[in-house]
Amino acid sequence: MEMRTLNRFPLPISAILLDLDGTLLHSAPELAEAANGMLRELGCPAVSQELLMSYIGNGISWLVKRALTGDMHAEPDAALYEKALPVFEKHYTGLLLQSKPFAGVMQGLDAMKVAGFRLGCITNKVARYTEPLLKGSGLAQYFDIVLSGDSLPEKKPHPMPVLHAAQFFGVPVERLLLIGDSLNDTLAARAAGSPVFCVPYGYNHGEPVESLDSDAVIANLSAAMPLIKRI
């Protein structure tokens, strides 16, 4: 585990926000399978799961665009995208509930609740997927607030969801810890002024999370506990 500015720990924290895909849930296989199902139905060549995993992290819209173009930032033909998106959604809806929590997630969430932390989930996934996923995976019970990609006018990496959660919990944003797995999470936290930890097993476009501006890289959720104190 890599930690930065070691003498700051334990951080004074009142509530914890957790990212969904790549932090709590291993959803990449289902997302990749849905993307390839979409490509096959459109008569396009399939893409490797490894490459599709590198496309995950900015919401389904960008996953579809990247699968269509083979590029992280390119815009596909508008008519093709409009045709492709509902095809992807059809395939993904059928696969949604196959996603499972990563090893150690339930134990980490249990430890946080026992310690008295209030928890929230923050994701760029739209609510029509977030809600059944949380319920089906047994995670819904842990969260006092769930912010999906369409819950607010802005989503990560914008700070709005983090600031909204701080207001919901009634805590200063600097005492709201965000735990995620990608650049979007660190950008949102830093823009809001909150501390952020990263897990190394998620979906950061194939780049190591150690290169991100986080306060700590933790092996699993339970590893956050010695680094924080509840206030």
Please determine, for residue 3, whether its predicted confidence score (pLDDT) is greater than 90.
no
Mean of pLDDT over the chain: 94
Please determine, for residue 83, whether its predicted confidence score (pLDDT) is greater than 80.
yes
Packing angle of the helix pair 28-41, 78-95 (nearest 10 deg): 130
Please determine, for residue 8, whether its predicted confidence score (pLDDT) is greater than 90.
no
DSSP alpha helix (H) spans, 60-139: 60-69, 78-95, 105-114, 127-136
Residue 7 pLDDT? 53
The single residue of 19, 181, 185, 215 carrying the catalytic annotation is 19
CATH top class, domain 6-26+101-230: alpha beta
- Segment 143-170, tens digit of pLDDT: 999 999 999 999 999 999 999 999 999 9
Q: Are 40 and 46 in contact (CB under 8 A)?
A: yes
Q: CA-CA distance, 20 to 139, in Å (whole number)?
A: 10
Closest CA to 157 of 98, 231, 230, 213: 213
- Segment 56-77, tens digit of pLDDT: 988 899 999 999 999 999 999 9
The residue-averaged pLDDT of 118-125 equals: 96
Verify whether residue 19 is a known catalytic residue: yes
Q: Are 148 and 38 in contact (CB under 8 A)?
A: no
Could you name the CATH architecture of 28-98?
Orthogonal Bundle (1.10)
